[in-house]
Amino acid sequence: MLLYNKAFDPIHTVLRLAAICKEHQKKEIELERLQIFNFLLSFPAHIADMPLARELLQSKNKFKKYRSAYNNFEPYTLFNRINPIFFASLQMADNIGFIKIQDSGVITLHKDSIPDSLKNIIDSENCSIPKEALNFEIEHLSEIPILGKSGLKAASKLMDYKYDYPQADN
């Protein structure tokens, strides 16, 4: 039996990257934040499991509705399995021109360079990207620092954070 999972689809990953680029308020985003945002758009149910601030409890619990008995997986392992696809798609997005990869681990976003065909798909009613999850990422998770015990890497439990450089609040 052949099963499709959008997390393993490089073209859908480019679409998710375009959606993040289009909606993100800043002109730059950390590579690690972009990886986490990409994963959370593929599996929004994981947002409900993240230990976030008390004021976000009601907002994050909305994502429990995305849970499925068929999507039962260990997030850390799955996150690492989709990394090669993410990086290939990141290179495609760089080639298209709406993302520029910097050597410093920062990604520059160029909203005006997103092709109209991608914008139309993102804005369509039947887009496969959960807008609720995208808005939650942009409004709430964009403001959380990436590093340290209270950072996004620690909260998502998708990346190791204990050995981040000393500026983090380890």
Per-residue pLDDT tens for 6-41? Answer: 999 999 999 999 999 999 999 999 999 999 999 999
Which portions of the chain are predicted below pLDDT 70? 1, 165-170
Residue 129: what are its φ and ψ, rounded to 5°? -90, 125
Quick check: 117 and 136 in contact, CB under 8 A? Answer: no
Cα 14-142-150 angle, rounded to 5 deg: 120
Quick check: 19 and 122 in contact, CB under 8 A? Answer: yes
Nearest of 123, 165, 128 to residue 147 by alpha carbon: 165
Separation between Cα atoms, residue 114 and residue 23, nearest integer Å = 11
Separation between Cα atoms, residue 38 and residue 117, nearest integer Å = 20
pLDDT, position 167: 56
pLDDT, position 170: 47
Domain edges within the chain: 6-156
